[in-house]
Amino acid sequence: MTKEKDPYLEEDLREIVAENEIDWEALAGGSVLVTGSTGLIGSLLVKALCMANQTFTFCKEKPIRVLALIRSRKKAEEVFGSLYTEEAFSCVVADLMQEEFAVEGEVDYILHAAAQTASKEMVEHPVETIRTAVKGTEHLLALAAQKKVRGMVYLSSMEVYGSFL
């Protein structure tokens, strides 16, 4: 599944896909757009969705269409490797800072994991960092409205605030 198969990652992905809390059948036949797809969280989401397609009969019959929104094809090839051969997987080259960007076909769900993660960049250019996060999300929400998506999740793994429960 990955360019160089990592047995630990493969095992973790199998466990995630086998998790009873996730209704994979509800996603079968639908499409999921993942932003930040070459980052840590986004790439794992893409790989888990593709693993579900390989695992479940209902996904083999009606696969989840996995759309990885990327900025760099080269980086995507490094991150996704053999996923490029999967029929239900495709990359969408786009920049969330552009007001309009094309995503072909239907989009049922959006998993928004795109964000600036370079601490130095955030410290040196805080206004641009915030502007990018806000404008990128705004443009993605416009796409969500246009495509009439069923759901959108905003993910952030950089900072967590509040008390531990």
| Residue 159 is assigned to a structural domain of this protein | no
DSSP 84: G
**CB under 8 Å, gap of 24 or more: what pairs does 57-64 form?**
58/24, 58/25, 58/28, 59/24, 59/27, 59/28, 61/28, 62/28, 62/29, 63/28, 63/29, 63/87, 63/88, 64/24, 64/27, 64/28, 64/29, 64/30, 64/31, 64/32, 64/88
| Residue 163 is assigned to a structural domain of this protein | no
| Residue 162 is assigned to a structural domain of this protein | no
Q: Are 90 and 49 in contact (CB under 8 A)?
A: no
| Residue 43 is assigned to a structural domain of this protein | yes
**Number of domains into which the chain is organized:** 1
| Residue 58 is assigned to a structural domain of this protein | yes
The whole-angstrom separation of Cα 39 and Cα 55 is: 24
**In what side-by-side order are the strands of the sheet with 89-93?**
89-93, 65-70, 31-35, 109-112, 151-154
| Residue 2 is assigned to a structural domain of this protein | no
Supply the range of the domain harboring residue 46. Answer: 7-154
| Residue 116 is assigned to a structural domain of this protein | yes
What's the CATH number where 17 sits?
Answer: 3.40.50.720
pTM as predicted: 0.87
In order along its 165 residues, the chain shows pLDDT tens digits of 445 678 899 999 999 899 878 899 999 999 999 999 999 899 999 999 999 999 999 999 999 999 999 989 999 999 998 888 888 999 999 988 887 778 999 999 999 998 777 777 777 877 887 888 888 899 999 999 999 999 999 987 666 566 655
From the number of C-beta atoms within 10 Å of its C-beta (0-12, 13-18, 19+), residue 145 rates as: exposed
Which pLDDT value is given to residue 99?
73
